[in-house]
Amino acid sequence: MITIDIISAVPDLLDSPLNHSIVKRAKDKALVEINIINLRNYALNKYGQIDDAPYGGGAGMVLMVEPLYNCITELQKNKKYNQIIFLTPDGETYNQKTANYLSIQENLLLICGHYKGIDDRIRENFVTMEISIGDYVLSGGELAAAILVDSIVRLVPGVLNDAESALNDSFQDNLLAPPEYTRPSEFKGWKVPDILLSGHDSKIKEWRFEQSLQRTKNRRPDLLED
Ligand code: 6GU
């Protein structure tokens, strides 16, 4: 069982993505536990303050060190985290390899910041991994955290059934997935490739591999260099 705790100042942003589809099913089957911790509960005053203007000036607000410190240390009383991950555009770019690694951990803590960030002392003293989901800026780490959780959960044994198996996913073997079709076999004159209707399993497997390879060469040649 993997437990993922997520610290957020905007927990509502995580609601829908973590309560539908495969992630929901995994939670219902008790294959994963996901806890969302509202940073506001660790606010310093009755106004619910958790952020402040940056020292040295500049626009935007920074999440303060003390609420985060209190929140993290309280969570650490109950659990030893394998990784404490800060979602940030200046982190290491996320990929399937990192998803695979995270999916075999027991306890993960994700920290979502404002786009402007968090007091760096939290990064210096608690954070063990910094992850970005790509070279663009989001308003906060929540949507990135939802993406991490989704990609991790689908890799946890028992979450996907055989038909959905993550082994067929794009990237799992550094190849993009082949094209897929379903009924009808002909629509407006557009035909499904004959081979897929042939019932010849080994030929179909070969065709799919060839398609995967071609797609990867055309679209993502960088994946083949690894
Ligand atoms: Cl993880 N956070 C934010 N705020 N922006 C991002 C990101 C993360 N990854 C890419 N852009």
Domain count, the chain: 2
Same domain membership, residue 56 and residue 133: yes
CA 32 to chain centre: 14
Domain boundary among 124, 153, 182: 153
Same domain membership, residue 173 and residue 109: no
Identify the residues whose C-beta falls under 6 Å from ligand 1: 87-89, 115, 131-134, 136-138, 140-141, 144
Q: Is 105 contained in some domain?
A: yes
- DSSP one-letter code for 117: B
Each residue's pLDDT, cut to its tens digit, for the chain (226 residues) gives 999 999 999 999 999 999 999 999 999 999 999 999 999 999 999 999 999 999 999 999 999 999 999 999 999 999 999 999 999 999 999 999 999 999 999 999 999 998 789 999 999 999 999 999 999 999 999 999 999 999 999 999 999 988 777 777 778 789 999 999 999 999 999 999 999 999 999 999 999 999 999 999 999 999 999 7
Distance between CA atoms of 23 and 121, rounded to whole angstroms?
A: 33
Provide the domain limits for residue 194: 168-225
Q: Give, for ligand 1, the residue of 14, 63, 88 to mutate: max count of ligand atoms closer than 8 Å to Cβ.
A: 88
Same domain membership, residue 52 and residue 17: yes
Distance between CA atoms of 12 and 41, rounded to whole angstroms?
A: 14
Q: Is 161 contained in some domain?
A: no
CA of 10 to the centre of ligand 1 (A): 15
Q: Is 17 contained in some domain?
A: yes
User: Would the CA dihedral through 97, 136, 139, 76 be positive or negative?
Assistant: positive
Q: Is the pTM of this model over 0.85?
A: yes
Residue among 188, 190, 192, 191 nearest 178 (CA): 192
Same domain membership, residue 198 and residue 93: no
Q: Give, for ligand 1, the residue of 132, 136, 142 to mutate: max count of ligand atoms closer than 8 Å to Cβ.
A: 132
Residue nearest to atom 8 of ligand 1 (CA): 88
Residue 70's domain is classified under what CATH number?
3.40.1280.10
Whether residue 99 contacts residue 155, with contact meaning beta carbons closer than 8 Å, is answered with yes
Which pLDDT belongs to residue 111?
A: 98
Report the phi/psi class of residue 186: left, alpha or beta, with left for phi > 0 and alpha for psi in -120 to 50: beta
